[in-house]
Amino acid sequence: MHTPHTESPPRPPEHRPVALSTGVLALCSALLLTLVGVEWRPLLELDADIARTTHRWAVEERGLTQTSRILTDWVWDPWTMRVLCGVAAALLAWRYAASWSALWLVLTVAVATVVQQGLKAALDRARPVWPDPVDSAHYAAFPSGHAMTATVVCGLLLWLLHRHGAGRVLWRTALAVAVLSVTGVGLTRVWLGVHWPTDVLGGWLLGALLVTAAVTVHRRRCPARR
């Protein structure tokens, strides 16, 4: 007996931008990883030029440097972001009875930590070294854990706010805070001389890639009601 062929249903239109973004981010992340891994000289020279300039400014502008240390060590520290994620997960589970979303949020941030530490160990890229450092950091350089964690946490929380129908004022405020945090933490890491610019760029790209991948998983598991 011949079984008629049934085509799979077309992908919902709202899924297509996410799929496209995931593909573009994956391509850009892979390209940057390759260039850093093979130590492509033009990229290293650009990194060094920017790092030398910003370090000179950091040494001269002590007040701004101290502010940057406070922001990066306390306000935008990865553990601060993880605590924020935990609070959001508890709110999802207890107030909105969204246990799966809470677990999804926590697991995604955990995966981001594993990915960044795995890449650091695999690439083992050295951090900048200065005769007059203004700050210090441990482990390998690429990707920036601060930049990647902030991107993942802020990106996921913004998407959850949008999905749960946040009001215009709350949404715009959250968006402004997220953009300031993700951009600011990346700039402070370069300013303080503990990361090359491409470490931060890698953290942003990989963080955004993980967010789009996680959103895809969530949408398939819990489609939005129409």
Instruction: List active site positions.
Output: 146, 195
The amino acid occupying position 63 is: G
Using alpha carbons, select from 113, 150, 120, 110 the residue that is nearest to residue 33. 120
**Looking up tokens 């370069």, which residue turns up?**
190
- Residue 220 CB: number of other CB atoms within 10 A? 9
Residue 143 to residues 5, 23, 122, 123, 209: CA-CA distances in angstroms?
46, 19, 11, 9, 13
Q: What is the rounded distance in angstroms from the CA atom of residue 133 to the CA atom of residue 192?
A: 8
Peptide bond preceding 78 in cis form (omega within 30 of 0): no
- Burial of 197 (C-beta count, 10 Å sphere; 0-12/13-18/19+): buried
SS3 at position 197: helix
Query: Which tokens hold the place of 214?
Result: 């996680």
